[in-house]
Amino acid sequence: MSTLNSDSMNELLRDLAINHHVVISRDDPIMMLTTIQKHMLKELLEAQQAALAEFQSRMEQMITSWSEDSRGKAQRIVNASLDASKRMLTENTEVISNSIAVEVGKVFDRRASEIERMMVEIRAEKKANYLLAVGFSGFALLIAVASFLLK
């Protein structure tokens, strides 16, 4: 009994006759080699398929592992970038706040100086007005006394 199908067996016998000028019958013991070879090829194919399946499985595991590692590294990079951005924002906010405080302080100092100068001027005017009022009062008193005495 041959394990080759009829067409394959006929093709094999025809190739042997054409290429090697040998005519072999279907029940020749040498034909056992084709059956043995077919079984060996089948086992080899099964072994290769099993090896390929194992290889694919390992590759999928490695890809999954690399993907998880990459995701973790990317997350760490993003977190580090966010932390650095937050630090820079905080530092820049402090610098800007300090600059604003200095400028506002300068404006307040200028205004305080102007107000102080104005207060000095107002005091001087007040003093001058007071002295003027005292002078006019004294003059009015002098006129009143003179007119009283002249009567």
Per residue, what are the HEC states of 85-149? Answer: HHHHHHHHHHHHHHHHHHHHHHHHHHHHHHHHHHHHHHHHHHHHHHHHHHHHHHHHHHHHHHHHH
- Residue 3's contacts (CB-CB under 8 Å, 6 or more residues apart) are 35, 38, 39
Please check whether residue 25 is in contact with residue 47, taking contact to mean a CB–CB distance below 8 angstroms. no
Please check whether residue 30 is in contact with residue 24, taking contact to mean a CB–CB distance below 8 angstroms. yes
To 10 degrees, the CA torsion angle through 102, 103, 104, 106?
90
Give the mean pLDDT of 76-86. 93
> What band does 4 get if pLDDT is binned at 50, 70 and 90?
low
CA–CA distance, 91 with 68 (Å, rounded to integer): 34
- Express as a percent the part of the chain with pLDDT over 70: 97
Quote the pLDDT of residue 68: 92
User: Residue 61: is its pLDDT beyond 90?
Assistant: yes
User: Residue 39: is its pLDDT beyond 80?
Assistant: yes
Quote the pLDDT of residue 81: 93
Residue type at 50?
Answer: A
- Residue 94 tokens, joined: 């402090």
Q: What share of the chain is helix, strand, coil (3-state, %, to 5)?
A: 90, 0, 10
pTM of the model: 0.44
User: Residue 1: is its pLDDT beyond 70?
Assistant: no
Please provide the average confidence, as pLDDT, over all residues in the chain: 89
